[in-house]
Structure 1
Amino acid sequence: MSASVSSPAPVPSPSGSRVAPPTSADLLHFVRRTAADADLVASLPLDPEGRTWVRLDGPGGSEAWLIGWPPGTGTGWHDHAESVGAFTTASGALKEHSLAARLPTDGWKTLELTEGIDRERQLPAGQGRAFGRNHVHEVFNESPTEHAVSVHAYYPPLPRIRRYSRTGDVLRLEHVERPEDWQ
């Protein structure tokens, strides 16, 4: 089975000329640079009960966020649809579980996953990663006592997030969120 993936349209620059949209590598550079801004990271209000976030100006029309993670919180399994992205831990530590397989993007509700596709990354302060379209993962702060803070960027700005549940090797699409659901 083959699938075609269209390239994002060029982004207008302030001068009106067209420039290439940011790549996942560009976004990774941005989140690393932003995570190193100690004053910005310290300015994020932290809540002991739930995640907090502040929208940032990302490069080239991307969507970017500074996110605070109380101890024991996480995202659950999800993807960012057609957006490429990157994130870096600015303080504390995060863990990411991801799937090293390209899943069908639409038309399914339940998939049985094959052995060997699970990946796990520890992301202490200063560590991050970039990812491509339809990257399925969950991110969480395992610490029982310490907050974590991270910086995330996506391009194009998130058109939707698909949320999944997972039981063993079975991944189930639970619902789809659109930007109006989280802004």
Structure 2
Amino acid sequence: MSALDLETPGRVGRLRDIARHVSAAPESWGVTPRFDPVSRWYTRLFAAADHEAWLLTWLPGQSTDLHDHGGSAGAFAVVAGELTEETVRAGAGGAAVLRSASFTAGDVRPFGSQHVHRIVNASAGPAISLHVYGPALTQMTRYRLADGALRVLEIDRAGVAW
């Protein structure tokens, strides 16, 4: 499948629909969400031929680094609580800046294969989210934003970093 195929509205919409469906059926997960006071807890729920689903929990203050999904498109659904997503956008003069949006239980956020973001639980309570990626993740690049430019920190590979 080419990167162009991943960007089609139908493809991203399908991942959104899967995230919505799976997040609404916790009895199908086969696992009870757990909360870890040290770091986000996560587990892969399933993998299909063209996508996979992950369940994540977030205590207040827990977050990801800025990252991409290695060319996979996806969607995340907030199952419980509230999460804030910071996305990288071009600002004045082309400098990279962060834009924030909050999502609460029932919200689903689809994204394309070139999406760079950070997710944080900035609320006072715990949160649960379900993430669907297509194709399955093979790598993720972590970044930092410095002086209006996105800089690569590290490339994490499936089976090694997670």
Bucket of the pairwise TM-score, normalised by the shorter protein = 0.7 to 0.9
- Look up the match of 2:53: 64
* Whole-angstrom CA distance in 1 between matches of 2:30 and 2:106: 12
Over 3 Å counting, the alpha-carbon distance change for 1:125 and 1:24 in structure 2 is same
* Whole-angstrom CA distance in 2 between matches of 1:116 and 1:35: 32
Q: Does 1:172 align with 2:151?
A: yes
Deviations 1:89-142 (A, max 9, x none): 1001000011246xxxxxxxxxxx825864321101111211111211111100
Q: Work out whether residues 54 and 65 of structure 1, in 8 Å CA contact, stay in contact via their aligned partners in 2.
A: yes
Q: Work out whether residues 97 and 119 of structure 1, in 8 Å CA contact, stay in contact via their aligned partners in 2.
A: yes
Structure 1 segments, 4+ long, off by >6 Å, are: none
* Whole-angstrom CA distance in 1 between matches of 2:39 and 2:80: 17
What amino acid maps onto 1:171 in structure 2?
L
Over 3 Å counting, the alpha-carbon distance change for 1:81 and 1:42 in structure 2 is closer
Q: Work out whether residues 68 and 149 of structure 1, in 8 Å CA contact, stay in contact via their aligned partners in 2.
A: yes
- Look up the match of 2:128: 149
2:94 is paired with a residue of what secondary structure?
Answer: coil
Structure-2-length-normalised TM-score:
0.83
The alignment-based identity, stated in percent, is 32
What amino acid maps onto 1:87 in structure 2?
F
Deviations 1:34-80 (A, max 9, x none): 22224459821222221111211255531210100111011110101
Of stretches 60-69 and 86-95 in structure 1, the one that deviates more from structure 2 is 60-69
- Look up the match of 2:102: 122
Q: Does 1:86 align with 2:75?
A: yes
5+ residue gaps in structure 2?
none
- Look up the match of 1:133: 113
How many residues align structurally? 155
* Whole-angstrom CA distance in 2 between matches of 1:52 and 1:135: 22
2:19 is paired with a residue of what secondary structure?
Answer: helix
1:180 is paired with a residue of what secondary structure?
Answer: coil
2:132 is paired with a residue of what secondary structure?
Answer: strand
5+ residue gaps in structure 1?
9-21, 102-112
Q: Work out whether residues 83 and 157 of structure 1, in 8 Å CA contact, stay in contact via their aligned partners in 2.
A: yes
* Whole-angstrom CA distance in 2 between matches of 1:169 and 1:85: 26
* Whole-angstrom CA distance in 2 between matches of 1:128 and 1:7: 21
Task: Name the Cα RMSD after superposition.
Answer: 2.5
What amino acid maps onto 1:29 in structure 2?
D
Q: Work out whether residues 96 and 150 of structure 2, in 8 Å CA contact, stay in contact via their aligned partners in 1.
A: no
Bigger strand fraction: 2
